[in-house]
Structure 1
Amino acid sequence: MNAEQSTAHPLTRKERTTAIVGVCSGNLVEWYDFFIYAYTSIYFASLFFPAGDQTSQLLATAGIFAVGFFMRPLGGWIFGYIADTRGRKISMIISVFMMCGGSLMIAVMPTYASIGVAAPVLLVIARLMQGLSVGAEYGTGATYISEVSSAGRRSFFGSFQYMTIIAGQLLALLTVAVLQMLLSEQDLKAWGWRVPFLIGALASIVVVYLRRTMRETATEQDMKRKESGSIRALMQHKRAVLLTFTITIGCSLYFYTFTAYMQKFLVVSVGLAAPTVSMIMAAALVIFMFCQPVFGLLADRIGVRRNMIIFGVLSTFLVIPLLTAIKNVHDPLSAFALVLCGLLIAAFYTPVTGVLKADLYPPTVRALGVGLPYALGNAMFGGTAEYVALSFRSMGREEVFYVYVAAIGAITLISAWLMPDMGKHGYLDGDGKVEENIGLRKRIARKLFSGQVSS
């Protein structure tokens, strides 16, 4: 089924642009709010976890960062159900309100010195709220973009989702960089780290207004179907669910290794100064962000499957030498070049995965199908990336983490190879025979190996 057929009326170019802006503005604010925690934790870790050395304090804050990810499956499930049965628009409006609440809570939260153990407990609660919100945002946002985009341009339009995810990270990073220039390290640790959370909470109010003007893409007929938003109905697409999960795990682990964790890696392992690292990451992320539409157009030309295979090959075989080289750099320019190389590898998957996953499911379970397995994979591997890396570092075996990233990348590579041609068999523009064609290459390979099919 074509996406435009799934809406009550075809969208005009102006309506499509308004819809993309509404999704992307919220996406930017949500991810800004979510990542500002990672970029400021180096300043407030000792305020909530005063005991221990810097590594143990960062481990504690990284653990809470991971906890936020583990709420994503619940968010993907709850808000996927809401999006499939009540509409994509209402789901995305509620998710922004939840992110606003979590950010405001952190902005005004007392420290350990004021309320003792209640401080880290409240920090966990705030991150749980934000994790629930982000779990809602990705699945519903990817679904909405896939349904308002046009055939032959879906990866290009889809690239704006990750472009604003990156923009959110970049805005968080630039906010920290500005504060580092304006405030002393003492002021940053005392109160300056709270400012970015307050900014994020206020920005959410603007996003709610923008999203109120968006067109709904789910039809009344689809929302009222008995199977809409149902886990039982989703399980009729088991291969698609498995493919969504296995593609997610390698992509998420790689992405968070070269974004959220890289900030700490360059400070703690490489030994660069925090302000220098902020500038390195900001410059690399700017280039990475503006590459998204270009790589999206490439995917529209060569196909999402080929883009995913390229990412799988490069991430599997190059991540170990890249991280090893970064660990041994001695100057900021070399660090920047290597980090940028790592991010450009990620650019082969970032514009396509949202639309790709939406293409695996019919409209009645699309938001749930995109959101839930993605959130599970993202929580298990993306959200724990920083914690796993720091754990290996604390054991003196940091290089084992490099192997771990490569191994999970190999799983995603295999999954990309097993993907069907989505242009022919996806639900958006193809015949919807996704389940019948996932794994077809595996069966052909077995026959070739056994001599049943002539080469």
Structure 2
Amino acid sequence: MTGTQTTVPTRTKRPVRQLLAASVGNAVEWYDWYAYTFLATYLARAVFPKGAGNSLVPLLSTFAVFAVGFFMRPVGGLVMGAIADRRGRRAALTVTILLMGGSSLLVGLTPTYASAGLLAPVVLVAARLLQGLSVGGEFAASTTFLVESAGPGRRGLFSSFQYVSTTAGQLVASGIATLLVDTLAEPSMDGWGWRVPFWLGGLFSLVGFWIRRGAEETRSAALQRAPRPGLFEAMRRHPRESLRIAGITAGGTLAYYTWTSYLPTYAELNTGVTKSDALLAGTISLAFFALLQPLGGLLSDRLGRRPLLLFFGLGFALPCVPLLHALRDSFTVLLLVQLAGMVLLTGFTSISAAVNAEVFPPRVRAAGIGFPYSLTVALFGGTAPYVGTLFKQWGQAGLFPWYVAVLCLLSSLVYLRLPETAHRELDR
């Protein structure tokens, strides 16, 4: 939160419905996004040719496309954030859900390299670019929408549903992927099984669109009448706040994507854990993670944002290396490592939306959050699977845990200097 305004905004009349509109749509968005991650090895075999004598080349190519999608997220955060600030939060949310549904169908219809040659990776890249645009805009709009919908003393709780719904989407994607891997023969998974989750994602997006159409706009009437902000106004007028968002996010996004998305693949590559065991451990830990989020949000509403952020940053920096080095060919060990990381990670994820929304004034809040947040996620979160796999290819897999630990430590220095905003009124 910036400035000294103390105007009390008009409260939303239907907070539970607002929560449902944001959460269901967000879950669908992230289901589509993470289905790609969980099925990366099948996409690699279908879309990319194997490099001579190197079995990691297709997987590296697939994770490179994963990272390319992330680099469209800042564009989505800027453009969709500007729509949210100029046309309303609800308008931006309906656009993002339709974009994600279309791009998910496109992934499901991507031809194989054997049938279409270079057209196959071109179609996949186009689909991931659209997904990146959608997800970048989704975070900007839904973060603002959620926090502005909250009543007094409940911003942390409402904020936590950003990752409850994100995790629900991941959980469904992971569960469907696990079910397909366990029930279909390998030739069927390689042939058509990997496409099923993306076809379902297109249908889920229509459900999310229908729910969001009935949401209530959270911008105040005075703000709706005010002059519309320019596309780059947030960065131009609030450069310090933009840098603060980047510092808050850097360690959190790397830890988050490492623990919730890349860890199953990391375990497969470095310990020999089977694919089905890795997916099952990921699914269980995601369910545990979702249950923790509201507790973290409620705790931050009582104690403040900064204590939880430091719990995450310092807590993750210290045990990250021994936790990842403890992994071996054991389902139980993998599950325990994932659960331990989820507890620490909750200090960041449960309040990320509230902390970000409290940094910017309402006129440029969505775009102000969207661009620096999404750019930081692209630089550190989106590249996590690629960097980890690249370290493995270079024979230096042990460096990746240190990379995660150092970045979390740097973000902790930012958390130490953050002003406490939990008990201040949010301008709207």
TM-score normalised to the size of structure 1? 0.90
* Contact 1:293 1:351 (C-alpha < 8 Å) held by counterparts: yes
> Could you report, residue by residue, the CA deviation over 1:273-330 in whole angstroms, capped at 9, with x for unpaired residues?
111111111111111111111111111121111110111111111111111112xx23
Q: What displacement does 1:219 show?
A: 3.1
* Contact 2:83 2:92 (C-alpha < 8 Å) held by counterparts: yes
* Contact 1:85 1:224 (C-alpha < 8 Å) held by counterparts: no
* Contact 2:233 2:364 (C-alpha < 8 Å) held by counterparts: no
Partner of 2:271: 270
* Contact 2:254 2:384 (C-alpha < 8 Å) held by counterparts: yes
Partner of 2:317: 316
Q: For 1:428-447, what aligned pairs fall within 5 Å after superposition?
A: 428=426
Q: Mind listing any 5+ residue stretches in structure 1 that lack a counterpart? A: 433-455
Q: Secondary structure at the match of 2:18?
A: helix
Query: Does 2:159 align with 1:164?
Result: no
Partner of 2:86: 85
Partner of 2:121: 120
* Cα 1:370/1:233, change in 2 over 3 Å: closer
Task: State the superposition RMSD in angstroms.
Answer: 1.7
* Cα 1:233/1:134, change in 2 over 3 Å: closer
* Cα 1:283/1:2, change in 2 over 3 Å: farther
Q: What displacement does 1:232 show?
A: 3.0
* Cα 1:403/1:251, change in 2 over 3 Å: same
* Cα 1:260/1:4, change in 2 over 3 Å: farther
> Could you report, residue by residue, the CA deviation over 1:367-420 in whole angstroms, capped at 9, with x for unpaired residues?
011111100000000000000111111000111111111111112101100100
TM-score normalised to the size of structure 2? 0.95
Q: What displacement does 1:235 show?
A: 2.7
Q: Secondary structure at the match of 2:96?
A: helix
Q: Secondary structure at the match of 1:386?
A: helix
Q: What displacement does 1:266 show?
A: 1.6
Partner of 2:282: 281
* Cα 1:223/1:411, change in 2 over 3 Å: farther
Q: Secondary structure at the match of 2:422?
A: helix
* Contact 1:173 1:282 (C-alpha < 8 Å) held by counterparts: yes
Supply the distance in 2 between the matched residues of 1:2 and 1:164 (Cα, whole angstroms). Answer: 32
Q: How many residues were matched structurally?
A: 423
* Contact 2:8 2:425 (C-alpha < 8 Å) held by counterparts: no
Q: Secondary structure at the match of 1:393?
A: helix
> Could you report, residue by residue, the CA deviation over 1:106-150 in whole angstroms, capped at 9, with x for unpaired residues?
111211111110110110000000000000001110100110001
Partner of 1:11: 12
Partner of 2:339: 340
Structure (1 or 2) with the larger CA radius of gyration: 1
Q: What displacement does 1:69 show?
A: 0.4
Q: What displacement does 1:181 show?
A: 2.4
Partner of 1:46: 45
Amino acid at match of 1:400: L
Q: What displacement does 1:243 show?
A: 0.9
Partner of 1:410: 409
* Contact 2:285 2:335 (C-alpha < 8 Å) held by counterparts: yes
Q: What displacement does 1:356 show?
A: 0.7
* Cα 1:338/1:281, change in 2 over 3 Å: same
Q: What displacement does 1:3 show?
A: 10
Q: What displacement does 1:221 show?
A: 3.2
* Contact 2:11 2:151 (C-alpha < 8 Å) held by counterparts: no
Stretch of structure 1 that moved more, 221-230 or 121-130: 221-230
Partner of 1:76: 77
